[in-house]
Amino acid sequence: MNQFRFNTLAATVIAGVGMVFLTLPASAATAAQSVTKQCSTQYNAAKEAGTLNGQKWPQFLSECSAKLKDTGAAAPAAAAPAATAPAKKQAKDTPTKPAKTETAAAAPSSGMSAKAVTKECSTQYQAAKEAGTLNGQKWPQFLSACSDSLKSDKSDAVTPPEPTPAATKTTASKTTTKAAAATTADGKPLSPGEIAFRQRISECGDQWQKAKATNKTGGKTWPQYWSACNTRLKAE
């Protein structure tokens, strides 16, 4: 009977010791998590205060863990999530300068590219500035109005008459540089779209006359030549 009691007691003690050993890894893991979490918090605080003195996270964690273990401050935290190395502080967003509205214009539906629109409006702006006819307008305002005019202009919906050699040397090529003085037949100021249209007629007409003089029209008629030339200038 005594032998049976002794065996039962021994089995109970052994089972208890076994349970202790089984629970040790979980407790150790929890303690490690707590240490890492506390060290992570301290690391971030030191980083913010600028007192790391060049230490990286692995070095800091090693020293911090040793200190916590020595002082017994690393109490296991229940259900603590596994901590990882503290994330690097995000770099401050560098504000970008807003795009200058005065340097580019949206591509209009008239077929002119944005580059061609801006170039044409810039030329007309300088001409109006020299002539003193801006009437207080700044470049952004002028560009907006000029772009709208070019967008809605339908002057080249019909092929213009073939320019004569004399016509190509008259007012069309000079209209842009004297935009303020350019007027329609009834004396009204030309719109930016009309000014650009006349300029294209002048340039294409001049090129057409030179091509004809050197027999380099490629067999094209004026309407065909004008269409290709006009399209090219509107895209440049």
Look at residue 183 and give its three-state secondary structure. Answer: strand
pLDDT beyond 90 at 106: no
- The pLDDT of residue 99 is above 70: no
DSSP assignment string, 182-210: -B-TTSPBPPHHHHHHHHHHHHHHHHHHH
For residues 137 and 126, give the distance between their C-alpha atoms in angstroms, rounded to a whole number. Answer: 12
- Count of other CB atoms within 10 angstroms of residue 40: 19
Rounded to the nearest integer, the mean pLDDT of the chain is: 72
What tokens were used for 188? 């009204």
Tokens of 216: 């380099």
Q: What is the pLDDT of residue 118?
A: 92
Sign of CA dihedral 9, 15, 16, 18: positive
Q: Residue 186 has what pLDDT? A: 73
Question: What's the pLDDT at 62?
Answer: 86
Task: Give long-range contacts, CB 8 A cutoff, 24+ apart: 44-52.
Answer: 44/86, 47/86, 47/89
Best mean pLDDT range from 11-15, 16-20, 40-44, 105-109? 40-44
Tens-place pLDDT, residues 185-215: 777 888 898 898 999 999 999 999 999 999 9
- 77 CB contacts (<8 Å, ≥6 apart)? 30, 33, 34, 37
* Local confidence band at 130 (pLDDT 50, 70, 90 cut-offs): very high
Element (H, E) at 175: helix 172-175
Residue 141: which pLDDT band, with cuts at 50, 70 and 90? Answer: very high
The amino acid that residue 155 corresponds to is S
Query: Is there a contact between 83 and 40 (Cβ–Cβ < 8 Å)?
Result: yes
Instruction: Look at 150 and 188; give whichever has higher pLDDT.
Output: 150
- Token pair for 151: 């967008």
| Cβ-Cβ contacts under 8 Å for 69 (sequence gap 6 or more) | 35
**Mean pLDDT (whole number) for 9-14:** 45
For residues 178 and 127, the answer to whether their CB atoms sit within 8 Å is: yes
Q: What value does the mean pLDDT take over residues 57-78?
A: 70
Choice between 88 and 58, residue whose per-residue pLDDT is larger: 58
Confidence band, pLDDT 50/70/90 cuts, at residue 10: very low
At residue 153, what is the residue type?
D
* Percentage, residues of the chain above pLDDT 90: 22
Choice between 199 and 93, residue whose per-residue pLDDT is larger: 199
The pLDDT value recorded for residue 47 is 84
Amino acid identity at 127: A
78 or 222, higher pLDDT = 222
Supply angle C-alpha 29, 30, 36, rounded to 5: 90
Res 221 pLDDT > 70: yes
Position of tokens 């209009």?
Answer: 108
Average pLDDT of span 57-86: 63
- Spatial distance between the Cα atoms of 18 and 140, rounded to a whole number of angstroms: 83
Beta partners for 189? 183
Q: Which two tokens stand for residue 130?
A: 């020299």
